[in-house]
Structure 1
Amino acid sequence: MAEHERVTTRRRRVLLAAACAAAALVVLGAGVAGYAYFRLNGNIQSVDIDARLGTARPSSATDGSFNILVLGSDSRAGGNGDLAGGDTGGTARSDTAMVLHVNQDHSRAEVVSIPRDTLVARPDCADGTGRTVPGSKRAMFNSAYEVGGAACAVKTTEQLTGLRMDHYVEIDFAGFARVVDAIGGVTVTTTVAIHDRDSGLDLPPGEHHLDGRQALAFVRTRHGVGDGSDLGRIELQKQMVRSLLRQTGGAGLFANPVKLWSVGDTLTRSITTDTALASVNSLVGLAQELKGIGPDQLTMVTLPVVAAPGDPNRVVAEQPQADQLWAALKADGELPRAVLGEQPENPALATPTAPAKASPKAAAGTGAGTGSGAGATR
């Protein structure tokens, strides 16, 4: 009887110890999760677009579709100084601009690239000190970010498109390179050699797995491929977007918590968003809404443009195609065939025996100045 009591007491002690250990692990796990949550939330930088722009904006869609303005900044501040060549003279512009439209049931998306040298009517904007910068009837699209930051870029895009930009996401050079490295690099294919002294990219024809710096050089390259125009560079950027979607879709992030943490930490340190997206919960929610969209569900086009009157190194929206494009997005409909049928050719996928053919719009942007042409600045 006494022996049975001793065994029972030992068993209770073991069970109590196990329960205490389990409780400690739960508490520790919750603490780690809490730390991770606050760490990732603290990484994200944001801009209160709604407060800066007020209510004088296009209305959001009511059918479930939404739009995101995605900007790539060419800032050389911080860790960007020695990346991807070029010189901005100490300023920052929206080197890359894409309007992402997600349809009402979130099963497909369209991306419209806006050439940085497109001449637009830029509205009045407030600069970083709150001083009003007068608008311009004929300003380069990427100057909006330069004079008034993210809010001015959003305001200019909404005026150009007639669409509400429900969200805004920005990434700079260093951030893009870090994200590519975090997901394990990205694979691209080129049928022609690419040699660009300015971006530092040197690729023979074939399939290449690029690290972050190489991927950045790829999306920055223009002098070393095709007709040397910014419109050709946009085609390289489209290929990169599709490659990134394939890479992240096959990376098995959720099966690898360590890699998932690394990617999450890197991504949140690399982006700036509007305040509505500036939390882990919001970003995860957005990822859930977009999870069914892969390369096959993504249509990517460039805003139809022609050479600007009196300035062959700038472009303007081609009409009526441009208005038809924005109207299609607003109606959440299919993109016009007139737009799809006249897209520039990806210079990296041109036939190896001949230079890339420029579409009439790409050729129109070619020139020896500082715009979209072959002699344009980076």
Structure 2
Amino acid sequence: MARSSGVYGESAKPGAVPRVPVQDQGGHDRAPAPGGDGPGRPGRSGGTGRPGGSGGSGASGGRPGRVRRALRWSATALSLLVLVTAGAGYLYYEHLNGNIHKGRRSSGASGAARTGPNAAGQTPLNILLIGSDSRASDENVTLGGGRDSRGNPPLGDVQMLIHLAADRRSASVVSVPRDTRVDIPKCTDPATGKTYPPVNTIINASLARGGAGCTLATWENLTGTYIDHWMTIDFAGVVRMADAIGGVEVCVRQNVWDRPLPGVPGGSGLKLTAGRKKVQGVQALQWLRTRHAWGSDPLRAGAQHMYMNAMIRTLKAQNVFTDTGRLTDLAEAATKSLHVSEEIGTVKRLYDLGTQLRTVPTDRITMTTLPTAQDPQDANHLVPAGADADRVWSMIRDDVPFDGKGGKPGAKQDAERPSRDPAAADGEIGVLVRNATRSATLGPVGGRARAVADALVGKGFTKAAADPSGALSEERTVVRYPSAELAGDARRVAKSLGVPASSVRRSTDVSGVTVVVGADWRTGTAYPKQPAPNSEDLPGDTDALNGSDTGPCMDVYAPYRW
């Protein structure tokens, strides 16, 4: 029997035209209708070519079942693939979380109040970055030398506060040289339970007296600013991060070789020819550790600022937040290299922190070094430079940008907000007044505690009394209180004396409301009004470096040139 041309409905025979998939109205491939010449065309058996038509029987009618089974298997395979991929992602996320070493945010006594939001509901963010000289591992011993000091507690040789403005439009960084003498509060090491008494010594010793949480408490007392988080990194961590970044550009004006010289041991080993160079790995660590070749510890901070700014520019240029491969490499390196305070101890929280930091334009980042003076007790040490140092901290406390592009304070301290605990009657508030007018450059003013206590009595605070102990040292006047139920009393006392609310701080070092008359209040019975800081107030001796400035080069101290 003759076969009509163009008919696809017969069983397969030699030379028969193979079935081909056709597309439905949704654009999806499907098999041609059994027994039909195509969608809607009647075949020899009179079928409609649609699902359920009479042409659905016979050998060719089994194909839709096979297709459906194939689709079911494909869907199952795809589901398994998604689950496996998601599971691998989860396992990798947990792997990164497992890399992170965490510690207590604060392990020392501090009276700094948490910073409150500004009128727009925005809150600044303060992060303390600490570079440790730990020799607790073979790798660190190899990189840092000092095999004979392997078991010693680590010192915090690099310390800088990163202040991210409440509006996230600027960032200010302040380094304190490691040999700066400050008050280190009472701290308890969370790892050993050992308690260290308060001491007045150089700031790098704080890390060995209770870990990074003690260094954070030291900075809070030094600055009067609440610090949200800390991060520490050791020698091996610096090398790991520098390699992950792929190198950072630095600059020297002369050939430099930081090496031991007669009578001057040590040295980082850094050896570079003059000009702009990219450093990474061990060489990056050498750059950050070099001190002798620059001539001083404050100048070393300047070299570190150059590196930090260049690193930020490099990361922004690499678009690491949109490049999955680069982000993965950096995440692996960062989680293995950084120790962080526990409240940011997950990959997600670190990532969220990174996204906040990257919103700041590089030309709104300002790196500075705290103004210091020679320590009168030890010529090899430094002390904060009085009014200039306090001006820097005032700008941080009041959220004033360092770059001169903003003038109005953006945040307020908790102390400025109405207290939930109202003040007691003035005559019922016990107040102790201490004389702390001795400063790094000026001796104490006799009788200050008695004069201020008498002034308080005259204002109705009949339980005010002077502390008979000797004069202390405090650059700025503060009013301290030990517990929340005395917050209202402390604010009431401060207000009566004209002391700003930002100087009212909670502290475990006092047993009641305590007025500490600092070196900024040497005469009179009313606290001298302090001008509000603005963005032009940054002292000239901070060695400020803008984040977008690629021009600076380090001068090499002559004995270390080659």
Normalising TM by the smaller chain, what interval? 0.7 to 0.9
Q: In terms of mean alpha carbon deviation, does 183-192 or 342-351 score higher?
A: 342-351
Structure 1 unaligned blocks of 5 or more: 357-373
The answer as to 2:132 corresponding to 1:77 is: no
- Look up the match of 2:346: 279
In the alignment, the residues of structure 1 paired with residue 86 and residue 370 of structure 2 have an alpha-carbon distance, to the nearest angstrom, of 48
TM-score after normalising by structure 1? 0.86
1:124 aligns with 2:186: yes
Report the CA distance between 1:86 and its aligned residue.
Answer: 5.8
What secondary structure is seen at the aligned counterpart in 2 of 1:32? helix
CA contact (8 A) 1:231 1:344 kept: no
1:349 aligned to 2:556?
no
Corresponding residue for residue 14 of structure 1: 70
Equivalent residue for 1:368?
A: none
Aligned equivalents of 1:284, 1:345: Cα separation in 2: 28
**Paired position in structure 2 for 1:25:** 81
The one of 149, 153, 173 equivalent to 2:211 is 149
Task: Note closer, same or farther for the CA distance 1:334–1:305 as it changes in structure 2 (3 Å cut).
Answer: same
Tell whether 2:99 aligns with 1:36.
no
- Cα distance change, pair 214–275 in 1 and its aligned pair in 2 (3 A): same
Q: Residue 88 and residue 100 in structure 1: after superposition, are their counterparts in 2 closer, same or farther (change >3 A)?
A: farther
Q: Provide, for residues 172-230 of structure 1, a one-character-per-residue CA deviation record: whole Å limited to 9, x for no partner.
A: 11011101111222222222222112211110012212221111100111222x3x211
Distance apart, 1:240 and its partner CA: 0.7
Q: Does 1:213 align with 2:288?
A: no
Contact residue 85 and residue 200 of structure 1 kept, 8 A: no
Pairwise CA distance, 1:233: 0.8
Contact 2:239–2:281 (8 Å) recurs in 1? yes
User: What do residues 329-351 of structure 1 show as CA deviations (whole Å, max 9, x unaligned)?
Assistant: 11111336464422349997156
> What do you get for the CA RMSD once the two structures are aligned?
2.4
Q: 1:178 to 1:191 in 2, by over 3 A?
A: same
Aligned residue number for residue 438 of structure 2? none
1:87 shift after superposition:
7.2
- SS of 2:541's equivalent? coil
> What are the superposed Cα offsets for residues 16-39 of structure 1, whole Å, 9 maximum, x if unpaired?
222122111110111011101111
Which consecutive residues of structure 2, in runs of 5 or more, have no partner in the other structure?
1-55, 260-266, 403-534, 546-550
Q: Identify which of 302, 308, 317 aligns with 1:250.
A: 317
Residue 60 (structure 1) aligned with residue 115 (structure 2): yes
Higher relative helix content: 1
SS of 2:383's partner is strand
Query: Could you list the per-position Cα deviations for residues 98-144 of structure 1 after superposition, in whole angstroms to 9, with x for gaps in the alignment?
Result: 011110111210000011111111111123422321112x3101111
Cα distance in structure 2, aligned partners of 1:153 and 1:100: 14
C-alpha change, 1:159 and 1:54, in structure 2 (3 Å) is closer
Residue of structure 2 aligned with 1:47, choices 81, 94, 103: 103
**For the residues of structure 2 that align with 1:344 and 1:334, how far apart are their CA atoms?**
15
2: CA distance, partners of 1:125 / 1:253: 39
Aligned residue pairs total 351
Which structure would you say has the larger RCO, counting Cα contacts within 8 Å and 6 or more residues apart?
A: 1
Instruction: Provide the rounded CA distance (Å) in 2 between the counterparts of 1:87 and 1:120.
Output: 29
Identity of aligned residues (%): 34
- 1:293 — aligned with what? 360
Aligned partners of 1:26 and 1:272: how far apart in 2? 33
Deviations 1:32-77 (A, max 9, x none): 1110111111111111225x45885432332311211110101111
Task: Indicate the structure (1 or 2) with the bigger Cα radius of gyration.
Answer: 2
Deviates more, 1:152-161 or 1:119-128: 119-128
User: Once structures 1 and 2 are overlaid, which stretch shifts more, 249-258 or 170-179?
Assistant: 249-258
The secondary structure found in structure 1 opposite 2:318 is coil
* Secondary structure class of the residue paired with 1:272: strand
- Give 3-state SS (helix, strand or coil) of 2:102's partner: strand
- The equivalent residue for 1:196 is 258
Q: In structure 1, what residue type is equivalent to 2:65? A: T
Separation of aligned partners in 2, 1:300 and 1:88? 35
1:293-346, Cα deviation, whole Å (9 max, x unpaired) = 243221011000000113211110011011111111111113364644223499
